Amino acid sequence: MKKGLLLFLLTFNLTMVPVLMKAQTVLNDAVVKVEGGANTPLIITHDVLKTFPRAVVNRKDKDGNNHLYTGAALSDILAKAGTTLGKELKGANLTKCLLVEAIDGYQVTFAFAELDKAFTDRIIILADEMDGKPLPVADGPYRVVVEGEKKPARCIKQVTGMSIKSIVK
């Protein structure tokens, strides 16, 4: 019995340690590029994301369980990229939107007015934590989480890029 348990523990450790090390490497190597109409294109790494003010969003999963997601408000990220927000978000600037893309090619958009704190109290974040821990591998290392939206379709997982677009005729 003891030999079987020792063999199991040894096998488990030899198998799981490289997997856990790879997960940490993925977190450290993962980036989100912010480009397009940004005056200052950004490359967001785990360390860069931690420099933004931390925001928390409470969101239910598909089973109705509440989770606290922590990350940076997309409006703060856009402000650092030098985009038009606040008092300057009017007229033609209201045609601007943020296109967010996931590793599998899935894309969603957000109008700048949906993200700007001068227009809304709702927070939309680029999260790197859920319930105080790194996001699950299937969701992260970065995920956009939309506060108060009924459907999770725009809570995009495994985010790799954000592009600023202008929609004009």
Regarding whether 139 and 99 lie in a shared domain, the answer is yes
Regarding whether 103 and 146 lie in a shared domain, the answer is yes
Regarding whether 78 and 43 lie in a shared domain, the answer is yes
pLDDT, tens digit, for every residue of 35-45? 887 788 899 99
Regarding whether 148 and 118 lie in a shared domain, the answer is yes
The total number of structural domains in the chain stands at 2
**DSSP-derived secondary structure for the chain:** -HHHHHHHHHHHHHHHHHHHHHHHHHHHH--EEEEES-SS-EEE-HHHHTTSPEEEEEEE-TTS-EEEEEEEEHHHHHHHTT---GGG-SGGGGGEEEEEEETTS-EEEEEHHHH-TTT-S--EEEEEEETTEEPPTTT-S-EEEETT-SSGGGS-SSEEEEEEEE---
Regarding whether 79 and 22 lie in a shared domain, the answer is no
Task: State which residues form the domain around 40.
Answer: 31-166
Regarding whether 98 and 156 lie in a shared domain, the answer is yes
pLDDT, tens digit, for every residue of 81-109? 989 888 889 998 899 999 999 999 999 99
Regarding whether 99 and 117 lie in a shared domain, the answer is yes
Give residue 62's pLDDT.
Answer: 84
Regarding whether 14 and 35 lie in a shared domain, the answer is no
Which portions of the chain are predicted below pLDDT 70?
1-28, 169
Regarding whether 86 and 9 lie in a shared domain, the answer is no
State the CATH number of the domain containing residue 120: 3.90.420.10
Regarding whether 153 and 72 lie in a shared domain, the answer is yes
Regarding whether 11 and 53 lie in a shared domain, the answer is no
Give residue 11's pLDDT.
Answer: 55
